[in-house]
Structure 1
Amino acid sequence: MYETTDPRPPLPEWILECYTVLCEQEVDGEVPSFSREQALDILLEAQTPDLEPEDVDHALTRLLERGYLYTVDDELRVTNPPE
């Protein structure tokens, strides 16, 4: 769901579901970070929703373009919305 207080542009629900899955990754209290390949594997294993590899790649691209994810040294990191 897109909240009106979130300054980021809205995305389709299925892409936001992918974002939620990535946000829920355990990383010892740090910002979740992973390689693009790891993110692809995480999302394909979660099957939320049932996605093909091309769909997951598209979702990651859109999340990066819209600021939901960002890269640091070839690692993807989750951008947490302001609270």
Structure 2
Amino acid sequence: MTDLTDPRPPLPEWIMDVYEILSAHSRNATAEQDGQSIPRERALETLRDSEQLDLEAGDATHALSRLIDRGYLYEVNDELRITEPEN
């Protein structure tokens, strides 16, 4: 569902599902990690193993690229960082 208060451009629902899975994963990550981040390879593995989505490797890579392009994620040294809209 699209949040009308979110300033970021909308994406297809299946890509937003990818974002939600990665956000939940990063929130549940160990306290040793800095902020809400996940290594790119771990993100792809998490998406492949997800029971919520049935994605092929190319779909997962495409979703990550779209999320980065639209500002939902940003990448630093192969770490994907989760962004959240300003309130």
Q: How well do the aligned residues superpose, as a CA RMSD in angstroms?
A: 1.6
Please identify runs of 4+ aligned residues in structure 1 that moved more than 6 A.
none
Structure 1: where are the runs of 5+ without partners? none
Q: Which one of the candidate residues 36, 42, 46 is aligned to 1:42? A: 46
The residue matched to 1:34 in structure 2 has which SS?
A: strand
Query: TM-score scaled by structure 2?
Result: 0.85
The residue matched to 1:18 in structure 2 has which SS?
A: helix
Match of 1:20 in 2: 20
% identical equivalent positions? 49
- How far is 1:33 from its partner? 1.2
Task: In structure 2, give the amino acid aligned to 1:43.
Answer: L
Task: In structure 1, give the amino acid aligned to 2:23.
Answer: C
Query: TM-score scaled by structure 1?
Result: 0.89
